[in-house]
Copies of this chain bind each other. A is one copy, B any other.
Amino acid sequence: MNSFKVGILGATGAVGQKFIRLLDQHPWFTITALGASTRSAGKQYKEASNWIENTPMPERVKNITVLECRSEKFQEVDFVFSGLDSSVATDIEADFAKAGIPVISNAKNYRTDPSVPLLIPEVNPDHIELINEQRFTDDGSGWIVTNPNCVAVPLTTSLKPLHDAFGIESVVVTSMQAISGAGYPGVPSLDIMGNVIPFIGGEESKIRQEPLKLLGKLHNGAVRYADFPVQATATRVPVINGHLLSVTVSLKQKAGLTKVREMMENWKSPIHDLNLPSAPKFPLKVHDDPRHPQPRIHADSDGGMQTAVGRIRQAHVMDVSYIAMAHNTVRGAAGGAILNAELLVQKGFLKVK
C-alpha cells in the first residue's frame, strides 16, 4: 500500500502528541505536516512543543516547521488528524473539509452533526456512509469523521453485545477517570493527590448522549438514535491512564447472567477480519478475576486499544452490573481516531492523492 501523507492539527497539545507517538512507525500513515496555534507556527516542532509523552519525541517530527492551521498550508497531505481544542475546532475543521482535505477528528464539535459519523469501528462501521451526506465540497472530497468521548468508548463497546442481543432499557454509570483525560497541564496535583473530585465539567452529557448515536441505526442517510436513558456520574481519580466505569444496566428482554456473559465473551467485532493495523486482537476482553480490570495494569493491553470488562454479575436493582475500562488517550482519543482512519482507508474513503 502506498503511504499516506498526513497532517496533525493541534500537534503541540496532549492529543496531538499522542497522535505523533502512535503514528511513529505506522505502516500506512506518514506525518508530513504539523499545525498548531499562530504562537507556535514557524518554529521547529522540537522548539514549539513541550513534549510530555514518556517515550522520546520521534526524530522524524523534530525538525518539521509548525504551520498555522489553515487549509492552504496543508495542500500536500492526503488527510489530517485533528486534536484541536474545541474552542477552535469548528471553524478550522470546516475550512479543511471545504478545501477537500478529509478531517479525522478527536474534537467534540461535529460529533452531534447529523451528517458526521461518530465512529467506533467495532461498533458502528456502517455509519461511515454518512460521509456521503456531507456537503463541505461539491465533489465529496472533503469531509469530517469523529471519534467519541473517552468514557463513551468503553461504555458503548461493552453495551454493544447486550444491545444487539437484548436491547438496552437504561444505564446507570459512575466513571473514575484518569488525569491524562484533562490534557496538560490539566489537573493540578494539589487538587487530585490522595483525592477524588466528584465532578468533570461537560462530561456527563457526552456520556449520556454519545452512546445513543453510536448504537443508532443508519436509515436513509441518517442515524436513528438508540433510545434509552443514561444516568452518569463522572469523577476524577489519581490514576494516570485508563478510565474505569461501574455500570449497571437494565435490559429490554430479560436474560440470565450466563446468557449475558456469553454475549459479551463471544462477541465478535464486525471489523475483525479486516486486519487493520491498530485494531486490537480482542476489542472486548472479559476478565474472570474479580479484582480486574485495573487501569494501571490493563490500560495498555492490546496496544491500549482494548475495552476490558470484569465483574459481570446479576444486579439487585436493574439487571446486570459490570466494570468496564479502557485507555482514555489511546482507545478513547488518538488511537481511536487512527483506527477510524484505517477503516476509512480500507473502505476506500481515504485515498492517496
* Chain B contacts for A235, CB-based, 8 A: 176, 244, 246
Residues of A173-194 at the interface with B, using a CB-CB cut-off of 8 Å, are: 174, 176, 179-180, 184-194
Given contacts A176-B176, A231-B248, whether A191 and B189 have CB atoms under 8 Å apart is yes
Which of A191, A231, A244, A317 has the most chain B CB atoms closer than 10 A to its own CB? A317
Do B238 and A316 have beta carbons less than 8 Å apart? no
**From B54, B184, B323, contact of A296 by CB (8 A):** B54
Residues of A265-303 at the interface with B, using a CB-CB cut-off of 8 Å, are: 290-297, 300
* Chain B contacts for A315, CB-based, 8 A: 172, 231
Q: In the complex, A185 Cα to B52 Cα: how many Å?
A: 18
Question: What interface size band does chain A fall in?
Answer: 35 or more
Interface flag for A233 (CB, 8 Å): yes
Do A317 and B188 have beta carbons less than 8 Å apart? no
What residue in chain B is nearest A243 (Cβ atoms)? B196
**From B196, B240, B295, B297, contact of A295 by CB (8 A):** B196
Do A196 and B317 have beta carbons less than 8 Å apart? no
Q: In the complex, A185 Cα to B192 Cα: how many Å?
A: 11
Chain A positions 141 through 177: 1 when the CB is less than 8 Å from some CB of chain B, otherwise 0: 0000000000000000000000000000011101010
* Chain B contacts for A170, CB-based, 8 A: 317
Given contacts A176-B237, A196-B294, A198-B246, whether A318 and B187 have CB atoms under 8 Å apart is no
Do A317 and B172 have beta carbons less than 8 Å apart? yes
* Chain B contacts for A195, CB-based, 8 A: 239, 294-297
Do B199 and A237 have beta carbons less than 8 Å apart? no
Do B184 and A297 have beta carbons less than 8 Å apart? no
Given contacts A170-B317, A231-B318, A296-B54, whether A184 and B188 have CB atoms under 8 Å apart is yes
Q: In the complex, A303 Cα to B240 Cα: how many Å?
A: 21
**From B188, B197, B208, B230, contact of A294 by CB (8 A):** B197
**From B180, B189, B292, contact of A179 by CB (8 A):** B189
Interface flag for A27 (CB, 8 Å): no
Interface flag for A311 (CB, 8 Å): yes
Q: In the complex, A342 Cα to B296 Cα: how many Å?
A: 32
Give the distance to chain B from A349, nearest Cβ to Cβ, in Å: 35
Chain A positions 314 through 327: 1 when the CB is less than 8 Å from some CB of chain B, otherwise 0: 01111001010000
Do B233 and A190 have beta carbons less than 8 Å apart? no
Do B193 and A179 have beta carbons less than 8 Å apart? yes
Which of A171, A238, A239 has the most chain B CB atoms closer than 10 A to its own CB? A238
Do A187 and B188 have beta carbons less than 8 Å apart? yes
Give the distance to chain B from A263, nearest Cβ to Cβ, in Å: 20
What are 10 A-B interface contacts by the 8 Å CB criterion?
A172-B315, A185-B185, A186-B189, A187-B188, A192-B193, A195-B294, A199-B311, A231-B315, A231-B316, A231-B321
Residues of A within 8 A of B (CB): 52, 54, 170-172, 174, 176, 179-180, 184-199, 208, 229-231, 233, 235, 237-240, 244, 246, 248, 250, 290-297, 300, 310-311, 315-318, 321, 323
* A-B contact sample (12 more), CB < 8 A, given A194-B239, A198-B323, A235-B244: A174-B233, A176-B235, A187-B189, A189-B191, A189-B192, A193-B296, A194-B194, A195-B296, A195-B297, A196-B237, A198-B293, A233-B321
Of all A-B residue pairs in the complex, the 3 with the closest CB atoms, nearest first, are A185-B188, A195-B296, A231-B317
